[in-house]
Structure 1
């Protein structure tokens, strides 16, 4: 029986085929090679637990989601991204999946040009082409979803990411997926408390999985943030950084919301 994740990836592959027809791999790799070097997302996220100003925040440019539908219009992603930077975001995540999240590579390029902090291309990475594409459009960090990849793909894509000068946020949901991420030598490991196969969210899931995360990795808590209290809980449970989407795009003052989230993490 097909899962939500399977359905999303099917659409990703269809859209990818169209882009590859328009822009061959040779062209996109040349564009990637000509792009300015990636920023160091690993250093931007490392050490959040010891930071006197609070955990790091990965702030998301996110118009829609499969679980919640329309979240925010976001006519100008650069304006939102600049507000995030002003509010103290360490990394900005940009959704580039079109069908379920209403994202685009144009959003990625626009945000990259507008801010001076690392930018994450958040998409469902299933083919080599997408990594060169990410770099060509200015990504410093890409998302690798363990549930969407076999072990060989995970290792190969992680190596390709590093070869292109980027970092990867390797996302897991279960203990077994964390073990696979560690075996692939992931440096940045996220626990998504949303099950991508069912879209169910359980914020307590991070604490259950946190003890399996390697101490040497940058540890990211993803999803489920509806206010400062959740950020504080994630910080208390050892997260170096927290990825926040819906709570920020729906807030009328995203920069101030970010400051509240980081301040809350100091109360852990």
Structure 2
């Protein structure tokens, strides 16, 4: 069993336990009291439309492939550093078991930072989208490799109805058919194969010709330095989701500025 399948199976158990604690009807009811989400898609579009380097900066303590990434981990401090240094949006890992994340990080960060926030997790049930709104996320990640076409359509619809942006993630050409009918302007191309964790940043450029020009392509995984950014920009890619390479830096402010500006 590959790691993506393993994580998705664990998610089914996690969601089942969550439903025992808070049933679907009660969850939906509680979501009615949550303030309107921030405009995640709009924050990206406003910069990409000007061909500016647009960073979704990730807050991630650990991963299954790399283990512990950042020992001294303060989500609020990290978020504020990212905001000061020009990040467009944030991505926050909420998976506890495999990434040492926590759903509480979203509301904690949101109270101290003005950037829109993506809940980075493995969505396999509509329940998790309402959860995301309750936890004050502004966007959700929908991974095409984990979901059927009908699930992608349903989950995207629920997200948009609740004011959440949906980041649609693909990795392989065979997933393109699944996402043709989706409305979201955000298409993330993950350079990491979630089945074996191999990374190749050329994956983004290989899939770019198949993505409608009106979509915003986000290059995910494998961006380590400004040269990687420059290479992608020269090929018409302006938005990036960056996690591990930033999380390993002691001085986040200067690291993000260096990544964006090259100096």
Give the TM-score normalised by structure 1: 0.93
Please report how far the alpha carbon of residue 3 of structure 1 lies from its aligned counterpart in structure 2 after TM superposition.
1.7
In structure 2, what is the Cα distance between the partners aligned to 1:28 and 1:112? 20
Aligned partner of 1:110 in structure 2 is: 108
Please report how far the alpha carbon of residue 157 of structure 1 lies from its aligned counterpart in structure 2 after TM superposition.
0.4
Match of 1:234 among 202, 213, 232: 232
> Which range moved further: 107-116 or 146-155?
107-116
In structure 1, what is the Cα distance between the partners aligned to 2:47 and 2:174? 25
In structure 2, what is the Cα distance between the partners aligned to 1:74 and 1:8? 25
Aligned partner of 2:127 in structure 1 is: 129
- Give the alignment of 1:42-61 within 5 angstroms: 42-51=41-50, 54-61=52-59
- Give the alignment of 1:1-268 within 5 angstroms: 2-51=1-50, 54-264=52-262
Secondary structure, in 3 states, of the residue corresponding to 1:115? coil
Deviations 1:46-75 (A, max 9, x none): 1544536x3110000101111111101353
CA contact (8 A) 1:146 1:171 kept: yes
In structure 1, what is the Cα distance between the partners aligned to 2:174 and 2:196? 18
Please report how far the alpha carbon of residue 114 of structure 1 lies from its aligned counterpart in structure 2 after TM superposition.
1.8
CA contact (8 A) 2:165 2:184 kept: no
> Which range moved further: 37-46 or 12-21?
12-21
Deviations 1:177-200 (A, max 9, x none): 233223323310010000111111
Deviations 1:136-160 (A, max 9, x none): 1111010000000001000000100
Deviations 1:226-256 (A, max 9, x none): 2121122222222231000001111111122
For this pair of structures, how many residues does the alignment match? 263
Note closer, same or farther for the CA distance 1:102–1:109 as it changes in structure 2 (3 Å cut): same
In structure 2, what is the Cα distance between the partners aligned to 1:73 and 1:25? 36
Note closer, same or farther for the CA distance 1:167–1:222 as it changes in structure 2 (3 Å cut): same
Unaligned runs of at least 5 residues, structure 1: none
CA contact (8 A) 1:108 1:137 kept: yes
